[in-house]
Structures are given as structure tokens and as C-alpha cells.
Amino acid sequence: MKRTDPKQPPQFLWVAVLAFFSVAILISANAAANNSGRLAADADDPESLWVHNLSARLEGGYRSNVGLSPFHPDRSAYGLLGFEALWFRLPINGFESTFFVTGSDLEYVSSEITDREQEVLATASAKYAVTEKFKAGITGIYLFQDQVFDASASELDTGAVKAQVHIFILKPSLEYQLAPETSVEFGPSVGRANFLAPLDDYWEKGGYAALKFQLSPMNKLIASAESRLRPYDHRNQMDTRGNEIPGESLEFQQHEVTLSLIRQWGKSTRMKSTSSFGGQQNIDNGSGYYDYLRTRVSQHFKCSGAAAALDLSAKASYYDYRLQAAGVTDPSSRGRLELSLSVRPELKVSKTLKWYALLEWDRSWSNLAADAYSASTIATGFELEFF
């Protein structure tokens, strides 16, 4: 979608800026007076079993490659308005539940690929302690995205594409305490993804299991495995040369394993890290044209203080395709390395308002030219907590 007047800033940004800072001033001015009274009231209120938080953020930034293009990057400044809400019921009488929703509306100033990107994520989960060692639970997830997707991993000749998707996932779970510091969680899962063209809709059904080890008060190890079957509504299989086989419906069988270490680096320093390593195997139900093995590693680190915080993350993935070639004249197997880096410092301006900056860098190297691209984002913004 091409903007009709790329040089004019989006009008919603001016309204958003005025509204955001007006509310920020009002809330910051009354936060100290209201906080003590609210806490005192909550102490005698049954609703104090619920912990809740609501925040909004206003962000402005610049992206170097909106469409993730390997040849012609589309650069643009942007404005973003987002929110986040969390309700958590303390685990009293064996029952606990969590509700979380976050969303963002991003509008580009001068992009020729798209005017806007939107995202909403909502999750609801509940657990009940049936016995001292046994818990039953269920989690529901809804995700809406209207943005640029990099679909080249599992789509033929698609690459990055602007599309809309609604995803629904339901995951019942059973958790059993094997030992004081060890538990196992497992269950089935079912999901549905509804895309607008050119991507195809699909179902996902399978199961998962996770072993959780509390190695020490500061260290937790999680080993998980998941298997999924993904039948597509309309896509067909391919032969070994990438030619479509009419009438033969396409399905993916995906197997994934992950090992994660969560570490708290001391009670007073408020430092936390998460290290993950895993692999995913994708197997199609035809010639194996879409078969690949993905290896991934990630590291996340966060340090929080009374007035400032720093969030660092790094992710790397490598795709190794079994049959797909790098090109018509290059018979070597297609391979792809992805790297993503992110830095986010935060600084408290007042009790309810904080400033942050964001720097993201994404790079894809591949022996298939259409897979390779580089993109970066630099942004700054304010986040306001309402309660």
C-alpha cells in the first residue's frame, strides 16, 4: 500500500502526543497522594487478591528497511501508540489465574510498503491445585497481526509480505510435582491461523511436555519438547525440484526441543538472565522439499534498579534445508543464518512515568539472494503507568 502524501506526518500522532502527556502530568501529580490511600483500602478489600497493572506508551523512531527487502530497502520514520494490561490473582485456596493483553498501533510517515502496522496479543490462563502435588490448568492465546512478515522459511517465492493474521491457541495442561525441586508439565494443544492472502490458513494440533528443575534458589532449568501437525487449507505439495503437485494437500510435522536456564544474579542487584538453546525439525508429507533443521540460541539479560534499567537480548538461528538448492545455477543446499540484537535502556522520570530508548538490529545471511537482508530500528519513547 502506497501513501497518498508521504511527506505529511500522520495526524493521529499530534493527538496522541497531546493526550499522552496531558494524562502523564495529571497522573504524576496525583500519584503520591492517591497511592497510600489505595494501598490502605486494598488491605481490607477481598479484591486485593488481584494484582493489576495498566500502562501506555508513546514512541517515535526510524526503521531502515520496513519491507525487509534484500535489494531496495524502504526507510521511514514512524510513530507508535501502545498499551499493556495485566491482572494476576494470587494463588490462594489452590486457584490462580492471569490475564494479559498488549497492543500497538504503528503508523509510518513515508513508507511506500505500508501505511500502518498493528498488533494485539491476549492471553488468559488458570490453574487449580487438585492435590498437593497435582495441578490442572488451561491457557488461551489470541494474536492479531497486521504487519510485514518474513515468510521465506516455509513459503515458496514469498519472502517478506504484508499480511493480516488471526491466531487462536488453546493449551490444557497437567503439572505433577515429582520431587520438592522438580516438576513435569504436559498437555495437548490446538491452534488455528487465519490469514489474508497471499498466505494460507492452517490448523495446528499436537502436544508438549516440560521438565522444570529448581537447581538453587537463584537458578532454574527447563527442558521442553513439543510436536505439532500443521495441515494447510489450500497449499499443495512440491516435488524435489520445487514444482507444485496438484491435488496433493500439504502438511508439516514439526518437532521442537528447548533447554533454558533462568538465573537470578543476587537479590539486591535485581539482575536476571535467560539462556536458551534449541532445535526444530520441519518435515513435509511429500517429497521433503520443505524439510529443514533449525538450530537456535538466545541470551536475554535485564538489570533493574530503583531509577533505571537496562534490557539486552541476542538471538541467532540457522536453517539447513535438505533438498532446496541455493539457486538455479548453484546446486548447494540452501542455508540461512539470522541474527537479532536489541538494547533498551530505561530511566524513571517520576513515580508513574519512565523514558526509554530502543535500538534493534536484524540481519539475515543466506546463499539464496532473496533470503538476505539487513534492518535496524532506533526509537525513543515514554511509558506511563496508570495503576
Could you tell me the CATH number of the domain that includes residue 176?
A: 2.40.160
User: How would DSSP label each residue in 135-190?
Assistant: EEEEEEEEEEEEEEEE-TTTSTT--EEEEEEEEEEEEEEEEEEEETTEEEEEEEEE
- Residue 26: per-residue pLDDT: 55
Cell 518474513 sits at which residue?
Answer: 150
Fill in the amino acid letter for 259: L
Q: What is the pTM of this model?
A: 0.85
Assess if residue 17 is contained within a domain: yes
Q: Distance (Å, rounded) from C-alpha 366 to C-alpha 370?
A: 8
User: How would DSSP label each residue in 199-240?
Assistant: SPPEEEEEEEEEEEEEEETTEEEEEEEEEEEEEEEEEEEE-T
- Residue 39: per-residue pLDDT: 38
Q: Nearest-CA neighbor of 210 among 135, 153, 152? A: 135
Assess if residue 105 is contained within a domain: yes
Assess if residue 5 is contained within a domain: no
- Residue 8: per-residue pLDDT: 44
Q: Distance (Å, rounded) from C-alpha 54 to C-alpha 236?
A: 45
Instruction: Give me the number of domains the chain comprises.
Output: 1
Q: Distance (Å, rounded) from C-alpha 266 to C-alpha 280?
A: 33
Assess if residue 6 is contained within a domain: no
- Residue 49: per-residue pLDDT: 80
> Which residues of the chain carry a pLDDT beneath 50?
1-10, 13-14, 28, 31-33, 35-44
- Residue 9: per-residue pLDDT: 44
Fill in the amino acid letter for 150: D
- Residue 4: per-residue pLDDT: 38
Assess if residue 201 is contained within a domain: yes
- Residue 368: per-residue pLDDT: 85
Residue 168 structural domain: 11-385
Fill in the amino acid letter for 120: V
Q: Which helix (H) or strand (E) holds 363?
A: strand 353-366
Q: Distance (Å, rounded) from C-alpha 278 to C-alpha 37?
A: 48
Q: Distance (Å, rounded) from C-alpha 52 to C-alpha 62?
A: 32
Assess if residue 289 is contained within a domain: yes
- Residue 154: per-residue pLDDT: 77
Assess if residue 1 is contained within a domain: no
Assess if residue 357 is contained within a domain: yes
